[in-house]
Amino acid sequence: MVKKISASLLLFVAAMMAYSTGWAAEPVVTDTGTTSWMLTSTALVLLMVPGLAMFYGGLVRTKNVIGTMMHSFGAMVVIGVLWPMVGYALSFGPGILGGIVGWDPKFFMLQGIDDSIMSSQIPEYVFAMFQGKFAIITPALIAGAFAERVNFKGYLVFIALWCVLVYSPICHWVWAADGFLFNLGAMGAIDFAGGTVVHISSGVTGLVAALFLGARRGYPRNVMSPNNMVMTLMGAGLLWVGWFGFNAGSAVASNLSTARALTVTQMAASAGAFTWLIIELVHHGKATSLGVASGILAGLVAITPAAGVVAPVGAFALGAIAAIICYLGLLLKGKLGYDDSLDAFGVHGIGGIVGAICLTFFIRPSWMADASAKIHAPWTVWQQLGVQATAVGITVVYAAIVSLIILFIVEKTIGLRVTENDEMSGLDHSMHGEQGYGLINPN
């Protein structure tokens, strides 16, 4: 999406040169249309966080509903503070330490962007806040992998460290104008709205965390049925709605590319849900609501990196492929026996990898032509596949290793896994001293 910014920057410079005789150079002004859409998108992405809280909250046992929803809200609180303070500077500042991470003192506490209008004609505040919502939802996604068994205090420290040490560097590599994955190959690794940055990083971290912390007490022997599928479905619906901001907002524009992203997002979500529904009908004879919700998410996750480059046919294909592979992944999880409680890896990790890799085969020809024109040599699908695989591989390895170190440190100092007694009592009681469904109480 920063590609758009640099493209429009070039255009602007060209325009300035053209008009330099007799015309005073006009400063970049806010485009009200683009800004309105980006403000809307920012709000839509934030809406996904309570959506995720409901989605995850409904899937756990009654005694953990508040504890699980608080993982999402905790991310909103902690990252909400951390992002404007240092996260934006670490992600979108100019590269330091050989490009491992960005940093610009003027972005600390967003001090230096008070008057800044970006070349995409939106105030930089809007872009910083829009990006902040991605930083919020990503650690919240991880929580699905270790639901029902982590200490709230340890969780808060974990996501804060993770945001600084894992999210910000990957975000910098993939999305900052000087990030090395952004400049890999002819036109960079394609990650339109967060396939690697958001979904693969969080999914892989979730898998590492689930393996590191061990299974929930009694898993898989005891049945752990969802406490409220109604809430889960409403959450899935909110995620779908919010995803239009997530993907279509990532164009940082309000034009044709926005419309394309929105269209393929809608189609991939439907295709994913449809495929999952058919698989279940054939495999079990009954289509479950959780299956539909999982299919929606699998489709949305897979289209996330691809929303800028694939045509509608590709969106159908990616949604369907993601649903099939995620479904197989969940079957495999049952066989392997690790406890990725709410399938953060099973849907976000696997779906993200499927999307980021498979999108290569559905890139619209005009994009490939642009890539070839840029390097003045033919740019093939296989070369782009190499770039995509590199980006995915680096994200997987980096997120896994650094997350493991963070998990180890937090577990040894503050404690991340709850005690057996607290786990049996439920997180609502042991971590928050509350209960989810007090409304049942007659007074």
Partner 1 sequence: MKLITAIIQPDRLDHVREALIQADITRITVSRVTGHGRQEDIEYYRGQKIAPNLLPKVRLDIAVNDQFVNVTVDTIVKAARHESGEIGDGKIFITPLEECVRIRTNERGGSAI
Among 21, 282, 412, 441, binds partner 1 (CB under 8 A): 441
**Minimum separation from the CB atom of position 425 to partner 1 (A):** 4
Residues 6+ apart with CB under 8 A from 69: 53, 54, 56, 57, 436
Q: Which is nearer to partner 1, 63 or 260 (CB)?
A: 63
CA-nearest of 81, 72, 240, 245 to 147 is 72
Closest CB 411 distance from partner 1, rounded Å = 23
Exposure on the CB side of residue 79, measured as CA atoms within 13 A: 32
Give 372 or 425: the residue with its C-beta nearer to partner 1.
425
DSSP 108: G
Nearest to 266 by CA among 312, 321, 235: 312
In the complex, the smallest distance separating the C-beta of residue 230 from partner 1, rounded to whole angstroms, is 18
Please state the closest distance from residue 388 (CB atom) to partner 1, in A: 46
Please report how close the Cβ of residue 147 comes to partner 1 at its closest, in angstroms: 16
- Quick one: 337 or 442, whose CB is closer to partner 1? 442
3-state secondary structure of 21: coil
Using the minimum distance from each CB to partner 1, give the nearer residue, 16 or 424. Answer: 424
Q: How far apart are CA 101 and CA 78, in angstroms?
A: 20
Binding flag, residue 221, partner 1 (CB under 8 A): no
Sole binder of partner 1 in the list 256, 282, 336, 440 (CB under 8 A): 440
Residue with Cβ nearer partner 1 (21 or 443): 443
Give 27 or 442: the residue with its C-beta nearer to partner 1.
Answer: 442
Smallest separation (angstroms) from partner 1 to the CB of 442: 6
Query: Of 61-100, which residues contact partner 1 (CB under 8 A)?
Result: 63
How many residues bind to partner 1 according to rule CB under 8 A?
A: 13
CB of 423 to partner 1, least distance (A): 9
Nearer to partner 1, 63 or 333 (CB): 63
- Minimum Å gap between C-beta 231 and partner 1 is 18
Shorter beta-carbon distance to partner 1: residue 222 or 288:
222
The minimum distance between CB 341 and partner 1, in angstroms, equals 17
Helix-, strand-, coil-residue percentages of the chain, each rounded to 5: 70, 0, 25
Tokens of 141: 């996604």
Nearest Cα to 330, choosing from 203, 426, 143, 213?
203
Both tokens of residue 34?
């683009």
Residue closer to partner 1 (CB basis): 359 or 431: 431
In the structure encoding, which two tokens stand for residue 267, read together? 């189609």
| 436 lies in the site for partner 1, by CB under 8 A | no
Taking the C-alpha atoms of residue 399 and residue 208, their distance in angstroms, rounded to an integer, is 9
Cα–chain center distance at 244: 13
Stretch that binds partner 1, among 121-129, 324-332, 343-351, 434-442 (CB under 8 A): 434-442
The amino acid that residue 99 corresponds to is: G
CA dihedral sign, ordered 387, 390, 396, 401:
negative
Tokens 């919010």 identify what position? 242
Question: Within the chain, how many helices (H) and strands (E) appear?
Answer: 17, 2
Minimum distance from residue 422 beta carbon to partner 1 (Å)? 9
Cα–Cα distances in angstroms (integers) from residue 158 to residues 30, 79, 208, in the given order: 38, 11, 13
Burial 271-281 (b: 16+ CB within 10 A, else e): bbbbbbbbbbe
Q: Which lies closer to partner 1 via its Cβ, residue 97 or residue 440?
A: 440
Residue 42 parent element (H or E):
helix 32-59
Token duo for residue 405? 């170190």
Bridge-partner residues for 310, per DSSP? 363
Q: Restricting to residues 370-429, name those near partner 1 by CB under 8 A.
A: 421, 424-426, 429
Identified binder of partner 1 from the candidate list 168, 227, 384, 430, rule CB under 8 A: 430
Q: Is 442 in the site for partner 1 (CB under 8 A)?
A: yes
How far apart are alpha carbons 149 and 407 in whole angstroms? 14
In DSSP terms, which residues pair with 101 in a beta bridge? Answer: 96
Of 355 and 436, CB closest to partner 1: 436
Which spans of this chain sit near partner 1 (rule: CB under 8 A)? 63, 421, 424-426, 429-430, 435, 438, 440-443
